[in-house]
Amino acid sequence: MLDAYFSQLIAQQNLAHAYAFVGLAYEEKSDLVRHILKELVNADFSDPDQVASLHARIDQGQFADFYQLSPNGRNIQVDQVRELKQWLSLSPVEVDFKLAVVDQAQLLNASSANAMLTFLEEPLDQVYIILFCQQFEDLLPTIQSRVQAIYFQEESGSTKQVKWLAPGIQIDHAALLARLSPQFDENFVAAYEANDFEKWLKQVHYYYKSLLLKDRRAFVQVETGLKPFINKRNDSLNYRRALLSADYLLLLNHALIMLMTNPDWADQQDLVGTYMLKSWLKEEKFSLQALFRMNRLILDLKEKIQANVNPQLAYEYLALAAGQPI
């Protein structure tokens, strides 16, 4: 559970100063905030009676060093953020830390987001802030880059995410792996490097967009970009990455279809590339017919890999097939 993950962070003094809790599970988010508050109290005090008293005030909503900001009307106003910053700048009353929650943080307007940004860029010691939002991409990019996203999924998905988080997988990578991988893979974890994972994601993104645009460079990109990750059929990690790449292509394609048919679509489990896909839709015109065809081609790619076709050849075949007229 996420409770155990945050307990470990606090015990190791590795709690980040800013998080975004993403999803619709409001009660689960609130429960986790209370758990974090109690764990921080436990780290500061050893007297059982004092700890019990502070825990009770947390449960009753009477804890002096906790602040919750909710929208005033349709937006979170800049004056509200200024009041929050003023509160955060004051010394704690009951403990040695302060924690604030911003509910529906996607309703920060340009002015209030800029006011929030000054705090996120220059965090105070022992001061923590948690943003609640339905979709991470609904936050301004400048806010996204300064918080760590925690995705609230259905129970089975959350459990899988925590399994990936436990050995040190980066949070957003763990969330994606929990969606793509049906089971935890110790060999994958042993070889995991965050920078390498990011390079792989970028190569898949570039390849997918090239496919959509019928760009001939998609074929070349298999050799120049994807090959280091998928080439060796006898290498279990590369073979696994080849299948994960196919599953990620399906996930991206599904998300693009959903975004085209419903601009307000909210993916409850979120997706690393959703913000990127939205930007593509502003730049290019894609047809649903082409996307449905792409889905069939990607499924064919996956079948080839599972049938022992060399992954590089399978991805090159997809590049050729995608470039043909519909």
Q: What string of pLDDT tens digits covers the 326 residues of the chain?
A: 688 889 988 998 889 899 999 987 777 899 999 999 999 999 989 899 999 999 999 988 899 999 999 887 778 989 999 999 999 999 999 999 999 999 989 888 888 988 898 888 888 889 999 999 888 888 888 888 889 889 886 545 556 666 677 667 888 888 788 777 655 566 677 778 889 999 999 999 999 999 999 999 999 999 999 998 887 544 556 777 888 899 899 888 888 887 887 766 654 445 556 778 888 888 888 888 888 899 889 988 988 887 778 899 999 999 999 988 86
Read off the pLDDT of residues 16-37 as tens digits, 9 standing for 90 and up: 899 999 987 777 899 999 999 9
Question: Measuring CA to CA, which residue among 88, 170, 174 is closest to residue 124?
Answer: 88
Read off the pLDDT of residues 221-280 as tens digits, 9 standing for 90 and up: 999 999 988 875 445 567 778 888 998 998 888 888 878 877 666 544 455 567 788 888
Could you tell me the strand order of the sheet in which 148-151 lies? 66-69, 98-102, 127-133, 18-22, 148-151
Beta strand pairing status for 66-69 and 127-133? Answer: unpaired
Q: If you count them, how many residues does the chain have? A: 326
Question: Measuring CA to CA, which residue among 108, 125, 112, 117 is closest to residue 142?
Answer: 117
Do 173 and 164 meet the contact criterion of CB atoms below 8 Å apart? yes
Phi, psi (degrees; rounded to nearest 5) at 65: -100, 25
Do 78 and 111 meet the contact criterion of CB atoms below 8 Å apart? yes
